[in-house]
A and B are shown apart, each in its own frame.
Chain A
């Protein structure tokens, strides 16, 4: 089968070739996604194998009986499953939160304040003559992004690598930094200050210091000059910007820089989204409930408050009394104290593979792998919707099937 869609990272490459159980053309991460690995064998309650129906019945019971269950994950499943998750969260008066809350959600906060001058990966490939990766390392996190869209990609107006200046701004000399024409090494936590300095230069002001955040001012003037002279520039920012000191304020400041550049030329800014459908995990609740994450339904209507309703906040403050974890692994990826609470409450997991969350789940429901054993629609990192395919038959239920059934049981119980 041709044009197979990869369900690993946010680049959602749509040109894989699948033959006799083998995937071609994808990167090492994409290949690993399609390779054979250990699966959760059967649905389980407290370690005992049960039928799908029994496990779902038990899961629904836990969710309905909890005062405020947390329904978390969603970035590695399809829109159709996410929609059911939002509906279940509403029915049981729980919290809907998704992987972005520990990833790119600070960008959502910035967007609420400032809007976002954005564009598609296609526009970058065809037009961008200056590409900046800020706190992003696509060579390791989105390996084909540089070749398909941003560095070596051949486009309509950009014929080859020589037509494009690539800048990497980071605290480490990453593998991506080695691809760059210019590498700007900064001190950890100084993104905000450096963006402010660039804004000042672009505005025509003078910097009164010798260096900002470990970068000599001459280098900042050079960078600002390059930015102002671009015909079409893009800042791709990564978790280096959202997970370090400043968080949402860093992104807000970077958007302001782009707004300012747009008075002179054309610039866009876009996050390097991680999981293949993390955009969907925000877009779907936004069209169902008005918000992208950290949504609490305990009062019967959706309320948004990252300080209260993100998974880490709710867990650290012990503000949830059960959890449904779908297509993610918070036990591996949350700070220790948040995991401590997860260990104390009933946890239901829906996932194809055993992971750390499996080890502390009371109900485990194995699912089919979307993009290999199940189909559905997903958002690529630039908001383009693609249909992922089903390539092989399986006995496993898809997330959609599992959640459809769970929704049915929940509705029956709560009326």
Chain B
């Protein structure tokens, strides 16, 4: 069963360390996952290494799922191309997309996580 969530994005130390090397495996690892609350993780029937599909009105993306220190109903994705598939492009006239607080749904999926190039649509 999919669950409804609020999605937030942000920096992590691994995203920062690899930010000048975006075409490497390390960067891919640093940005292609999401953190869920333990209860939500279990409710979705997930185990370590499983993938989830996250959908919002702005798009959808498949990422790896991890348990993280987020509250129930909140999903955290490191800033980067994966997060930006589903983040809001509506800036309310400020120029600032809503990188934190977009509503969406999360479900378990068997689909693969795309590479950075596939996400960008250049491969």
Contacts and interface: CB of A to CB of B under 8 A. Distances in A.
A243 B58 CA distance: 16
12 contacts: A37-B21, A101-B95, A102-B95, A140-B13, A172-B74, A248-B96, A313-B91, A329-B19, A334-B97, A336-B89, A359-B122, A360-B122
Main secondary structure of the interface of B (DSSP, over half): loop
Contact of A354 (B23, B69, B87, B99): B23
A188 B76 contact: no
B85 interface: yes
A126 to B, nearest CB: 28
Contacts of A274: 11
A153 B13 CA distance: 21
A313 B96 CA distance: 9
Interface residues of A, number: 64
Given A38-B21, A140-B12, A239-B10, A332 B97 contact: no
Interface string B41-72: 00000000000000000110000000011110
B98 A244 contact: yes
A106 interface: yes
The 3 closest A-B pairs by CB, nearest first: A310-B95, A307-B93, A335-B89
Interface of B: 6, 8-13, 16-24, 58-59, 68-71, 74, 76, 79-81, 84-89, 91-101, 116-117, 120-122
A224 interface: no
Given A313-B91, A360-B120, A333 B96 contact: no
B100 A188 contact: yes
B16 A141 contact: yes
B13 A143 contact: yes
Contact of B100 (A105, A239, A309, A352): A239
A171 B74 contact: yes
A88 interface: no
B95 A294 contact: yes
